[in-house]
Amino acid sequence: MNNNTSPLAKRGYIIAVVVVIIGLVYVVQLFNLQLKSPQYLEYAESNAFFRRTLYPARGAIYDRNGKLLVYNRPTYDVMMVVREMEQFDTLDFCRTLNIDMERFYSLNAEMRDPRRNPGYSSYTQQLFMSQLNVEEYGLLQEKLYKFPGIYIQSRTERQYNYPNMGLILGYVAEVDQNKIAADPYYVRKDYVGKSGIELSHEEDLRGEKGVEILLRDAHGRVQGSYEDGAHDKVAVSGKDLTLGIDIDLQAYGEKLMANKVGSIVMIDPKTGEILCMVSTPTYDPGLLTGKSFAANYRQLEINPFKPLFNRAVAGTYPPGSTFKPTQGMIFLQEGIITPETRYSCYGGYPPLGGRPGCHGHASPLSIQYSLTTSCNSFFCYGLNAMLSNRSKYPTVSAAFDVWRDHMVSMGFGYPLGVDLPSEKRGFIPNSKFYTKVFKTERWNAHNIISIAIGQGEILATPLQIANLGAMIANRGYYYTPHVVKERKGSPLETTYTTRHQSGIKKEYLDITAAGMADAVTVGTCRGINLAPFLEVCGKTGTAENPHGDDHSLFMGFAPKDDPQIAIAVVVENGRFGATNAVPIARLMMQKFFSGEIPESDKWLEATIMSREILPYVYIRNLPPIPSNN
């Protein structure tokens, strides 16, 4: 700049620079407000556009025979745009919705609270109240012109055709903050599967939301679709599911297990499809819908029988003698015994002074006859022979881990992968477990002899026990058990169509099946002998229970040479396997194969249905399970 420039000219330059800077500041600020500020953009768009979320219909659920189990009914939500709300008769609004003023202010405060409603904006629709029925919707619709800023949004609510399968179907409820944070699909007050199939197949069932963009005029009134709906997105309904479960068989099983605690699981060995999964006590799925959801859920939650707990996949029990077939197959496969090997039994296991005890039968006996008679001593001898065999295994730990690996290959010790939530793994110990328990590596079979007969530390779920029946039925392999048979529009995952091999030779499985067939005709399972109508293979179990009477168990399959079902029955506190589990399995097999119970067994059906077997601690002062009647 020329030093001769006058002070007046210098001031002119300064003023010009300041004006330019101020102009740039305004330009930047306008850019931020109009193009980058989400609040301004939201405000501007909300003045011009009305975005209506279109909720998809949740997928329907059918049983294996095409009977509709779960469907949808329309329900309605009250939405508010706070910026559009003018003074209106709040008392009239409350009367229309059948709520009091206190409830109105509570719902209003919850809607406006950013902590309880993240993403709250006064420019966009916010959920005020949900689950209006058709009658309530009609009353509000008639008066909607009186309440500016109030809109109605339609969605659907689950309905059930049968009062069965509550634990399998599961329920839907309002989404929580963790789910909203994890999945942008969901917003406050959306509904999501919380248990059962509704949870495990949530992404299949929920569908895809749509949006309808409507144009407003200068007064905020909706004028119609924006650009003839060119920017709308159609909601896509959820996928329908077809289950492997037969609802008639399921309902019958629930009747047999009324007033009892336990489970029935039936599997098609050829596919892994679950035909029936009963867990009792259970509940009517219709209880956990609509405005009575919270009250009914609370009653189910506090009931000491735990009707919300699916014992079929999450209950763990000592399998008792239903475990013995696995032991015989391991000893045969490892060459510890041959089909001709015989061990003696004199009412108990002699090396430990007759413990565990045994009942009377012919002695000595082979593996096939030991399964027929359910001899405890035979399997104790076999386990001791395996764990003490130093020509095959360098240490007891090495021998035991081979034993454990066989158990895992037969489907025990880990979740099977059923398409239901909360499946438990049961428990099959390894050598490190016992080294830690005994604080030495110098333990032996006699320290853990009870595991040879399915007691001690061994735990299994009813699903795992039924799956063992399926594996033996198939003579060496099983498919991952699954509830969903078909999913409309896409195939099931390959995990449900892949064979899992047990590693046991077929000849040893044939011996096992023969022993289980003999158990039905001349052994411990004679109560399920349906010959000549049906050749059944079975194994009873009586599992010791430190909290009361023993548990009653049965595992089996039928027919012997072309199996169509595998079954496990567990009746808590049911005492001997033959007392309760066997007759229940008999009736279930007749229902499956014939569709009805013959007149000759009607007395048995009536006896089982009327029999009450409850843990004595629960008998008094029980809160009732809610009824949907």
Give the CA distances from residue 325 to residues 495, 517, 551, 604, in Å, rounded to whole numbers and listed in that order: 26, 12, 19, 28
Average pLDDT over residues 5-23: 71
- CB 570, CB 355: distance < 8 Å: no
User: C-alpha distances in angstroms, 197 versus 360, 414, 464?
Assistant: 47, 21, 19
| Amino acid at the residue 236 | V
Q: Give the 3-state secondary structure of residue 12.
A: helix
Token output for 78: 């009250």
Return phi, psi of residue 217, to 5°.
-95, -175
Q: Which residues have CB under 8 Å from 351's CB, separation 6+?
A: 380, 384, 446
On the question of a cis peptide bond just before residue 281, with omega within 30 degrees of 0, the verdict is yes
For residue 224, give the 3-state DSSP assignment.
Answer: strand
Q: Using 50, 70 and 90 to split pLDDT, how confident is the model at 276?
A: very high
How far from the centroid of its chain's Cα atoms is residue 110's Cα? 32
Give me the count of residues in the chain.
629
Q: Which helix (H) or strand (E) holds 604?
A: helix 602-610
What's the helix, strand, coil split of the chain in %, to 5? 40, 20, 40
* Integer Cα distance of 280 and 261 in angstroms: 5
Q: 324: Cβ–Cβ under 8 A, 6 or more apart, which residues?
A: 370, 371, 374, 379, 453, 454, 539
Lowest mean pLDDT among 122-136, 260-274, 496-510: 122-136
- What 8-state DSSP symbol labels residue 545? -
Domains and CATH numbers, the chain: 55-217+234-243 (3.90.1310.10), 247-597 (3.40.710.10)
Structure tokens at 362: 């012919």
Kind and range of the H or E run holding 191: strand 191-193
Asked whether residue 206 carries a pLDDT value surpassing 70, the answer given is yes
Residue in the block written with tokens 């996949």:
313
The Cα 552–Cα 546 span in angstroms is: 14
Q: Can you name the residues that pair with 236 across neighbouring β-strands?
A: 208
Helix (H, G, I), strand (E, B) or coil at 274: strand
Question: How high is the pLDDT of residue 192?
Answer: 94
Question: For residue 282, which of 422, 420, 168, 162 has the smallest C-alpha distance?
Answer: 168
Average pLDDT for residues 308-315, to the nearest whole number?
97
Q: What is the per-residue pLDDT for 544?
A: 86
| pLDDT tens string 340-396 | 999 998 888 888 887 888 887 888 999 999 999 999 999 999 999 999 999 999 999
pTM (predicted TM-score): 0.86
Confidence category of residue 39, pLDDT binned at 50, 70, 90: very low
Q: Using N-to-C axis directions, what is the helix angle for 506-521 and 462-473, rounded to 10°?
A: 110
Interval 322-337: pLDDT, tens: 999 999 999 999 999 9
